[in-house]
Amino acid sequence: MDTPRQTNRRDFLRLTALGSASAFLAAACAPAASTPAATQAPPAAAPTVAAPAAAKPTTAPAAAAPGATPTPIGGGKFTAPPVTAPAEYKPATGKLEIFSWWTSGGETEALDYLYADYKVLNPQVEVINSAMTGGTASGGNMKAVLQTRMLGGDAPESFQIHLGHELIDNHVIAGRMEPLDELYASEGWDKVFPKGLIDIASYQGKPWSVPVNIHRANMLWYNKKMFADVGVTDAPKTWDEFLAIGEKLKAKGQPLIGVAESGPGFWAHVTETILISTLGAGATSTT
């Protein structure tokens, strides 16, 4: 029989996968599990730094009444549809804690809408937003605290993580997670998610996380006015064209690429994309 914590997180995963308010990769934590046999498993990553103190959890804001007109989000360009309970839906009770590194304005807004929808369906559940900011790359501090809590047997009901090996190597192989194959089947996700995506989320034939958001790393924005100022009207289509524009900008004392970051996040994506485009995916997978 499912525990209240399992029921809460499964209902939350159902809601996130339906896209009510966007998007992180949520994984359901097992209350107790034996370590699965490692079949050609990569080595698990070990934490190398002490975890910082956890941020004080905040309870999600009160949800709008069922059927109420939702408030426009995204500068008034989008209005979220009201959420309705499926037939024979049984509201959950208890607590639902979500760990994430969603702390910026737009991220917080998306989480608030997601939590509000969940509260409409489950008004008796206490939703705890344990989002944390800071650290190296995406979610550095949050992941350190999560690792400490997982090792101490104090896992949150669900948490944000990158799809694939980041979850599998650290927590699935160690037996800390609950497989989601039954949830995929009952919700039909195994029929609508691309097979390649399910394969990345899976280990030993079972999926362990729910993909809710996909980021693209191979995308650059360019300033049309800056290009026009050096006589360029179209975006470059080859590296030679890209570097030629760089020379024109350099002559005016302007950089070709500007990156606003304080940690090694964006440049890691740029470097990865350049390696894939020049060496090929097959070559980079073995380096």
Here the tokens at position 83 are 């959420």
Among 73-77, 113-117, 235-239, whose mean pLDDT is lowest? 73-77
> Would you say residue 266 has pLDDT above 70?
yes
Say which residue, 18 or 171, is predicted with more confidence.
171
Distance separating alpha carbons of residues 228 and 286, to the nearest angstrom: 41
Which range, of 40-44, 70-74, 160-164, averages the lowest pLDDT? 40-44
Looking at the fold, whether 121 and 171 belong to one and the same domain comes out as: yes
Q: pLDDT band at 255, cuts 50/70/90?
A: very high
Buried b (16+ CB within 10 A) or exposed e, 174-200: bebbbbbeebbeebebeeebeeeebeb
Closest CA to 82 of 93, 71, 92: 71
Specify whether 10 is located in the same domain as 62. yes
The answer on 249 and 191 residing in a single domain is no
pLDDT digits (tens, 9 = 90+) for 39-60: 333 333 332 222 333 333 344 4
Share of residues in the chain with pLDDT > 90 (%): 36
What pLDDT does 14 receive? 65
Number of domains composing the chain? 2
In the β-sheet with 158-160, what is the strand arrangement from edge to edge?
A: 26-28, 158-160, 94-100, 125-131, 58-59
Distance CA 31, CA 43 (A): 23
- Do 78 and 177 reside in the same domain of the chain? yes
Neighbours of 1 (CB within 10 A): 4
In this prediction, residue 54 carries a pLDDT of 35
- Counting residues of the chain whose pLDDT is more than 70, the rounded percentage is 70
Helix axes 4-17, 105-121, angle to 10 degrees: 120
User: Is 254 within a domain?
Assistant: yes
- Domain span at residue 114 reads 4-207
Helix extents (H) in the chain: 4-17, 105-121, 140-151, 165-167, 181-187, 189-192, 195-201, 224-229, 239-251, 266-279, 281-284
Alpha-carbon span 169 to 263, nearest angstrom: 24
Whether 219 is covered by a domain: the verdict is: no
Confidence check: pLDDT of 189 > 80: yes
Read off the pLDDT of residues 193-202 as tens digits, 9 standing for 90 and up: 999 999 999 9
Q: What are the structure tokens assigned to 151, written together?
A: 């090792």
Task: Clarify whether residues 193 and 107 are in a common domain.
Answer: yes
Contacts of 189 (CB under 8 A, 6+ apart): 17, 183, 198, 210
Q: Do 20 and 140 sit in the same domain of this protein? A: yes
Work out the mean pLDDT of the chain and round it to a whole number.
76
Residues 58 and 131 in one domain: yes
* 215 domain-assigned: no
